Structure 1
Amino acid sequence: MRIAPCLLALAAGFLAVSCSPYQRDFRQAVAAAQGRHADPTGPWKGTWHSVPSGHDGPLWCIITETPGRAGSYDFRYRAGWGILNFGDYTHTVPVKRRPGGALGVTGSMELPAAVGTYSLDGMVTNDRFDAKYTSTKGDHGTFTLRRPE
């Protein structure tokens, strides 16, 4: 029967995605940050929403200070759409500290050619990460993330 090998391959693919280095690193970041959110670094979980298409999906981010680059942070993203989770993109952004310790985030990141270059403009506090994005391919929308429980 030919269906069995296809189902096995599909199951292996889902297992590989669920055991990705990103998922492992995200779980470790959540465990390390439990109850300690004195600054915007650490894990974030939320959604992205595209205005033109109406599509949306889950979004994860791990924020860390960029080693050797004072005033810059690495935003490591993974997104989803439908049953798919994709990407492991690190976006290094120079940030501006705002009153109260919030980070003003403005920058661009080149993604694979079919996706284009994304620009981000937002604010990250100790418990909220809200941003607007635009793409050179015509997409634009929002990111809304909070601390995972």
Structure 2
Amino acid sequence: MLIPFLLRLLGMVAVPLVASCAGGYHQDFREAVAAQPVPPTSPLGPWKGEWRSEVNGHHGPLWCVIRPDGPDHHDFRYRAGWGALQFGDYTHRAATRTGDGAIEFNGEMDLPGGVGVYQVEGRVTAEKFSAKYRSDRGDRGTMEMSRP
């Protein structure tokens, strides 16, 4: 029972770690921060905050960069952490409804390593990112972020 869990955990950490060795997410995040107008004028760009499970209390740091992908869609690219670990480079393309300058979205991500499929739904303004997630494995929680 412990061995399959450890193998899944290793897969969750190793695959994204190899992908991030090429600079990838951290470089893109730094570039998004440098390009962000001060004060921010739209929900697009970089975000930093925390995810928190309502099921087991686990939580960790969370980063996101939002970019437009057509007139009615946006790409939400995430990196998450748990304890001292940082993992992932997860993107979901979300259908969006915009009004009053905010983005209301819903999307889906299939996380590697058997972690599951996550549904994410939320609202982002120029100053605040607030979302809820739920997985097909029973986890659910919140994602709260602000500007870095």
Which of the five TM-score ranges fits, normalised by the shorter chain? 0.7 to 0.9
1:90 aligned residue:
91
Match of 2:32, SS state, is helix
Deviation at 1:18, TM superposition (A): 8.3
- Structure 2, unmatched stretches of 5+, are 1-16
Match of 2:34, SS state, is helix
2:123 aligned residue:
123
Q: Which has the higher contact order (CA 8 A, sep 6+)?
A: 2
Q: Does 1:31 align with 2:34?
A: yes
**Larger gyration radius, structure 1 or structure 2:** 1
CA contact (8 A) 1:130 1:143 kept: yes
The correspondence of residues 103-142 of structure 1 with structure 2, limited to 5 A, is 103-142=103-142
- Cα distance in 2 between the residues matched to 1:73 and 1:80: 23
**AA matched with 2:103:** L
Match of 2:35, SS state, is helix
- Cα distance in 2 between the residues matched to 1:36 and 1:74: 22
- TM (norm. structure 1) is 0.82
The correspondence of residues 43-122 of structure 1 with structure 2, limited to 5 A, is 43-66=46-69, 69-98=70-99, 100-122=100-122
**AA matched with 1:97:** T
- TM (norm. structure 2) is 0.82
* Fraction of identical pairs, as percent: 49
CA contact (8 A) 1:17 1:85 kept: no
- Cα distance in 1 between the residues matched to 2:20 and 2:93: 24
- Cα distance in 2 between the residues matched to 1:82 and 1:17: 18
CA RMSD of aligned residues (A): 1.9
